[in-house]
Structure 1
Amino acid sequence: MTVRITIIGAGPGGLLCARVLQRHDIEVTVYEADAAVDARDAGGSLDLHADTGQIALADAGLLDEFLALSRPESQAGSRLDHHGTVLKAFVPADDDLAAPEIDRGQLRALLASHVQPGTVHWGHKLVRAVPLGGGRHRLEFADGSATETDLVIGADGAWSRVRPLVTDATARYTGVSFLDVRFDDVDTRHPGVAALTGAGQMFANDGDGHGIILQRNNNGQIRGYLVVRGDRITVHDPEAVKRSLLDEFAHWADVFRPALTDWDAVVERPIHVLPAPLTWPHTAGVTLLGDAAHVMAPFGGFGANLALLDGAELAHAIAEEPTFDAAITHYEKGMLARAGELAVGANQALQEFVTSADPDDAPDHEAEHRKYEAAAAEYRRAR
């Protein structure tokens, strides 16, 4: 009898899992709420670490294509105080590939182009997953369609509709919001923002609830994240947003003013996280990966990296273990322990960023990169 494997969500983790399953000649179907791979703005840049995201891409046979698209030079970074003083700076060596950057949209398109045609059913938003017994589930979609499956993999993000099958945990608001701002054609139209950002990224904070993060992206773009405590700034009126930001950041140096007022688009992103560390009892026929399993604060760049490695490890477990139950048990044991530790650290780093301006809190990128490389070598030895 043919068994059916269904992934909900065609983000990087879900697509990576599907790709590795297909490399094992295992059939899989992916359902995604978006109408197409490029139906929405996927967000800013990602640094894919040698010990997580890059291992997963190698398992998918896509590491070389990723490296060709990536921007190693954008690993550069600086940490400033709110007066504009540079506290720390990092410039990667020419051969440093520990954490090169790639735009989220580029990564998603790369993965989507390497699953078999027809794998992803776009425009299918899951509204309900109903247990049928024996590990089977009925999946019901917003367009009225439905399907039944022997294994459902929730790769559907922070607001997962699959997660309630295994836990009643929900993402909670951290009390911190990001205003995601975009600067187009930066080197011509926004030279001040370009100079402040440099080749990679810039972090600045004041220890009193305010921060600015700027990241180089592809195609002449820079994405910025204007960090405030609370959700008192809404984005319905762009000019009102700019006035509010000038008031919030009035004590910051003038060098930051273009980042607050000269952007071309803005999206509000309240930061939500799951309890960490999070575990749940084994549930037949269902598991989670990526943000559905462990959404955490975006400090350390772990979210997408863990989603990719989750996808690869789950696919390998399905291919190698005798039953779905055994595969889920094997996969979740490693995934939950790894994600729990990193989530605790990431969530703490977010709170430190908004409450402390101590330069010693800033990460040592050189040490981080050597850690990624050493951990990657150890991971491969342990296989």
Structure 2
Amino acid sequence: MHPARTPRIAVVGAGLGGLTCARVLQRHGHPVTVLEREASADTRPQGGSLDMHADTGQAALRSAGLLDRFHDLARPEGDEWRVLDPATGALVARHGPTPDGGRPEIDRGQLRGLLLDSLAEGTVRWGRAVRAVTPLPDGSCRLLLGDGSTEDFDLVVGADGAWSRVRPALSSAVPRYTGVTFLETGFDDCDTRHPGLARLVGNGSLLVKGAGRSLVAQRNSNGHIRAYLALRAPEDWHRTGGVDLADRQAVRDRLATLLDDWAESLRDLLRTSDHGFVNRPLHVLPAPHGWEHVPGVTLLGDAAHLMPPVGLGANLAMLDGADLAHALVSGAGIGEAVRAYERTMLPRSAEAATGSAQGLDHLVPAAAG
């Protein structure tokens, strides 16, 4: 790279981690391009509610200069869990919220919108899929885009999630199925249309834990509740069982069988949802996952350390993005900055992956026998 030229930095993926990285870079006067394969910010729903931890997600938002705006949107009362007995449906435990509101909840879509709105116009180039990344002899990287064109950058940051197209430039690792699948559904205008469920969930989340199957329901903004039935099952459980996932009633009938020893009030929850069911098999990368440094390319978030969704992933992705951006604006060259970031991020993610795997086992205990 010519020393007088401004470094060309591309972030692949407009998720929370990539956008945090871009925001911190711009805040320090460094140009950056974000390439996103989706056509617009509204192409698809962004998922459920996230709890932002003080030492990770909130720290990243502070680095981005967005912490106050985050608190304007967040729901500190959402940091509450109610645990019910599966056989009776009775409340057996209640946790939180913490007195200091330490882990406030926010809808993923709201958080992404906050980050997008903070970026300079034109930073995100929508509809620009990346097919492959090739490191070049001069230490830069070439992106092959979905339309067959190529672009070269001095640094490519893979923030493109579980099935990253950037990762193969660094690692041959591929995600593996955990043995747990989440079936997601939703309820609208709950305080009016589903008052019983609204009372059960309260301001935060509901947990019903059984052997090989657990139910999580979480309150989002605007009276919406998302519910996830977590199952220990083969990845192709629906195909081998002859269940058409597009047939809402067929899925409900199958779930009624799986939960036949649960309280009728809990089984009713899945009979009355306003939405169909989305099948989400959970995958993880090997832990620890690492790579030998390759000039001109690095990873953050799920592209670097895909782990079960038990409350750490989004927080770590945002911290990754902030840490990488700070390293890049520190005055060190790109190579040394990326090495410094990877020396911090990789051990941290290995520890978090171990904790997340244990968290998934706690959330969905294996069935006896």
TM-score over 0.5 for the pair: yes
**Alignment partners' CA distance in 2, 1:152 and 1:259:** 45
**Alignment partners' CA distance in 1, 2:101 and 2:291:** 36
- 3-state SS of the aligned residue for 1:306? helix
**Which residue number corresponds to residue 324 of structure 1?**
334
The one of 88, 99, 102 aligned to 1:98: 102
Whether the aligned pair in 2 keeps the contact of 1:136 and 1:285 (CA below 8 Å) is: yes
Q: 1:321 to 1:330 in 2, by over 3 A?
A: farther
**Which residue number corresponds to residue 44 of structure 2?**
40
Whether the aligned pair in 2 keeps the contact of 1:193 and 1:258 (CA below 8 Å) is: no
- 3-state SS of the aligned residue for 2:196? helix
1:132 Cα deviation from its structure 2 partner: 2.0
2:193 is the counterpart of 1:189: yes
**Alignment partners' CA distance in 2, 1:354 and 1:91:** 21
The one of 292, 297, 300 aligned to 1:286: 297
- 3-state SS of the aligned residue for 2:118? coil
Q: Which amino acid aligns with 2:262?
A: W
User: What's the CA shift string for 1:12-41, capped at 9, x where partnerless?
Assistant: 110010000011111100000111112101
1:157 Cα deviation from its structure 2 partner: 0.3
1:96 Cα deviation from its structure 2 partner: 2.1
The one of 353, 356, 360 aligned to 1:350: 360
Whether the aligned pair in 1 keeps the contact of 2:37 and 2:126 (CA below 8 Å) is: yes
After alignment, is 13-22 or 258-267 more displaced? 258-267
User: What's the CA shift string for 1:93-126, capped at 9, x where partnerless?
Assistant: 5x52311000010011110000110000011111
Whether the aligned pair in 2 keeps the contact of 1:157 and 1:290 (CA below 8 Å) is: yes
1:356 Cα deviation from its structure 2 partner: 5.8
**Which residue number corresponds to residue 298 of structure 1?**
309
1:242 Cα deviation from its structure 2 partner: 0.6
Aligned length: 355
- More helix per residue: 1 or 2? 1
Q: How does 1:195-234 map to 2 (within 5 A)?
A: 195-207=199-211, 209-230=212-233, 231=235, 232-233=237-238
**Which residue number corresponds to residue 112 of structure 1?**
116
1:81 Cα deviation from its structure 2 partner: 2.6
**Which residue number corresponds to residue 241 of structure 2?**
none
TM-score normalised by structure 2 residue count: 0.93
User: What's the CA shift string for 1:144-188, capped at 9, x where partnerless?
Assistant: 332111100000000000011111111110011001111111111
- 3-state SS of the aligned residue for 1:223? strand
* Structure 1 unaligned residues grouped into runs of 5+: 358-383
**Alignment partners' CA distance in 1, 2:199 and 2:147:** 47
Whether the aligned pair in 2 keeps the contact of 1:10 and 1:31 (CA below 8 Å) is: yes
**Alignment partners' CA distance in 2, 1:240 and 1:145:** 45
Q: Which amino acid aligns with 2:100?
A: D
Whether the aligned pair in 2 keeps the contact of 1:38 and 1:105 (CA below 8 Å) is: no
**Alignment partners' CA distance in 2, 1:246 and 1:275:** 34
1:321 Cα deviation from its structure 2 partner: 4.2
2:250 is the counterpart of 1:240: yes
1:82 Cα deviation from its structure 2 partner: 1.0
User: What's the CA shift string for 1:315-367, capped at 9, x where partnerless?
Assistant: 0000114211111111011111111111111112212332269xxxxxxxxxx
The one of 83, 86, 93 aligned to 2:91: 86
- 3-state SS of the aligned residue for 2:183? strand
Q: Which amino acid aligns with 2:300?
A: L
The one of 310, 314, 330 aligned to 2:320: 310
Identical aligned residues as a percent: 51
User: What's the CA shift string for 1:41-81, capped at 9, x where partnerless?
Assistant: 10000000001000100110000000000000111111223
Whether the aligned pair in 1 keeps the contact of 2:28 and 2:329 (CA below 8 Å) is: yes
- 3-state SS of the aligned residue for 1:242? helix
User: What's the CA shift string for 1:123-144, capped at 9, x where partnerless?
Assistant: 1111111222222111122133
1:4 Cα deviation from its structure 2 partner: 0.5
Q: Which amino acid aligns with 1:172?
A: R
2:280 is the counterpart of 1:269: yes
**Alignment partners' CA distance in 1, 2:93 and 2:263:** 18
1:205 Cα deviation from its structure 2 partner: 1.2
**Alignment partners' CA distance in 2, 1:19 and 1:277:** 28
Q: Which amino acid aligns with 1:221?
A: H
**Alignment partners' CA distance in 2, 1:356 and 1:196:** 25
Whether the aligned pair in 2 keeps the contact of 1:140 and 1:146 (CA below 8 Å) is: yes
The one of 5, 8, 11 aligned to 2:12: 8
TM-score normalised by structure 1 residue count: 0.90
Whether the aligned pair in 1 keeps the contact of 2:23 and 2:64 (CA below 8 Å) is: yes
**Alignment partners' CA distance in 1, 2:282 and 2:143:** 28
* Structure 2 unaligned residues grouped into runs of 5+: 239-243
